[in-house]
Chain A
């Protein structure tokens, strides 16, 4: 088991009192799982993802990663345990594909960020996995949305974390790109033993590729379901689609 939560509360901490978006979550993530996180905008998907990645402190309860309580985690420990991919690729300046993926190695490099042989080997590996080997010296800014998102995923993979969280990774991709991305994630989960949690609005895509579903319904009811048939029924009753 990679991740386990015990009565986890996530949301916003205010001086006047905490505002929990999701309450009392008892969740777990196993090796090679792909978890689709579904819910309306503003239901707390991003907040949960950010809390799982250590970018947002949890309000109450416990979050264990690889059996360790994350309350004691340093920034560096977080960076070696959870990787992150966002919907929109930021401005990448004059970074080329190789240079951007190399940024995923930062948690393992020394003070000046010098890449060692090991780092080069891992970068070449993830480029191979994401079919980017021919793109190495292309500027990221000149790539298509789909190619760019593959680069961002490769960067997260280079970070070699057991868990990668993806916040609406397919939001800006066209339909065929979305399918390819989903297939790629399935392949990576199966062969490389990575686990993914991804938020999405693509219900069909989620139902076809995820191994587990976290659904945030009306009134922030939280469903943790493994069967896609059951998930579909809940989506139907909660969102009417």
Chain B
């Protein structure tokens, strides 16, 4: 061990500390999400229900197991997925603004869902139950991945990051216009369903679905970690990445599939959730100032989960009679964060 490698290890320790702090914060926030809500339930009762007992009030059982627990699980996994997808896209496009919402990926998913909710009405078909759920996810995925492929194609045509972002925005407008046309022609029921979906929500699932959702997210997060080495190489751009043995085709495909699936699935189930995907990688890079994805990825996944649990907590603080729209809260929290971090970062150089 020479002097430099010791300093290197010491620097990494700072990042490990952040990861450790976040790893502790996530369970704490998770529990807070279970203990706090519009109905106040005594601490001991929550513990009883969570440890398999039954509460003295039937309603409390229901609130904890069928409302708060699935909501917290969904918030946790959705946040982790969106933040991870955001980091992958920011590194891949080498652009601090890249993210599912900016690149039009959310809009693609939105168009897919709009077609299911409202297009069916137009054709005189109405989907319900599990078929509707399946179609919603399938069409959101199709929409999201189609847009992502389009954006990646754009990035191949023009190496200029600004073009890609503008291209993504234009795709978002186009999708938005098509959604507007559908809304214009849609029947009331489908329209209402779609508008509520657009608010974003972690509470659309029961316990079984939220467990299934979380398991799916975990499975989809794993491949991103296998991209670590290529992501690190990619920081210097495609030519240098290739010169250290990264296969451009495989890497591109890996990014499209990973980030596309992660954002698409969350968007399908929870609606287009703003800002978690962009804000979290910024926050992490701001704190640990590294481009090493073996540190960035775990930190981003954990902070994404934490921030999303925090936002979910705010939407249903006891002071509000009905839960706030989730997207309003994530935007109120996320937009200032991005702004502050970018302004602070300007003097230090670097693209994040």
Contacts and interface: CB of A to CB of B under 8 A. Distances in A.
Given A74-B245, A137-B7, 11 more contacts: A78-B243, A84-B243, A91-B94, A91-B351, A94-B291, A95-B235, A99-B291, A103-B236, A103-B244, A127-B4, A136-B7
Contact of B245 (A76, A95, A99): A76
A111 B291 contact: no
B239 A84 contact: yes
Contact of A75 (B232, B247, B289, B351): B247
Contact of B294 (A91, A104, A114, A136): A114
Nearest to A127: B4
Nearest to B345: A94
21 contacts: A75-B245, A76-B245, A78-B245, A92-B350, A93-B352, A94-B289, A94-B348, A103-B236, A104-B244, A107-B245, A111-B226, A112-B229, A113-B228, A115-B8, A120-B5, A123-B5, A136-B4, A137-B11, A139-B348, A139-B350, A141-B348
Nearest to A110: B229
B1 A117 contact: yes
Contacts of B225: 112
Interface of B: 1-2, 4-5, 7-8, 11, 94, 225-226, 228-229, 232-233, 235-237, 239-240, 242-247, 285, 289-294, 348-352
B239 A120 contact: no
Contact of A94 (B228, B229, B236, B285): B285
Contacts of B7: 136-137
A55 B243 CA distance: 7
B191 to A, nearest CB: 44
Interface in A138-160: 139, 141-142, 159
A193 B129 CA distance: 71
Nearest to B293: A113
Nearest to A109: B229
Contacts of A103: 232-233, 235-236, 240, 244
A55 B4 CA distance: 33
A84 B8 CA distance: 25
A32 B4 CA distance: 29
Contacts of B352: 93-94
Contacts of A120: 1-2, 4-5, 8
A84 B240 contact: yes
Contacts of A114: 294
A124 interface: yes
A53 interface: yes
Interface residues of A, number: 45
Contacts of A75: 242, 245-247
Interface string A85-101: 01000111111001110
Contacts of B5: 115, 117, 120-121, 123-124
A106 interface: yes
A86 B350 contact: no
Contacts of B350: 92-94, 139, 141
A165 B290 CA distance: 28
A206 B243 CA distance: 25
B290 A106 contact: no
Given A76-B245, A106-B245, A93 B235 contact: yes
- A91, A104, A109 interface centre (most CB from chain B within 10 Å): A91
Contacts of A78: 243, 245
B193 to A, nearest CB: 42
A83 interface: yes
A90 B237 contact: yes
Nearest to B232: A113
A53 B243 contact: yes
B69 to A, nearest CB: 33
A79 interface: yes
A112 B245 contact: no
Contact of A124 (B2, B226, B228, B294): B2
A124 B237 contact: no
A98 B290 CA distance: 11
A98 B243 contact: no
A136 B235 CA distance: 18
A86 B243 CA distance: 11
Contacts of A106: 229, 232-233, 244-246
Contacts of A74: 245
A159 B246 CA distance: 14
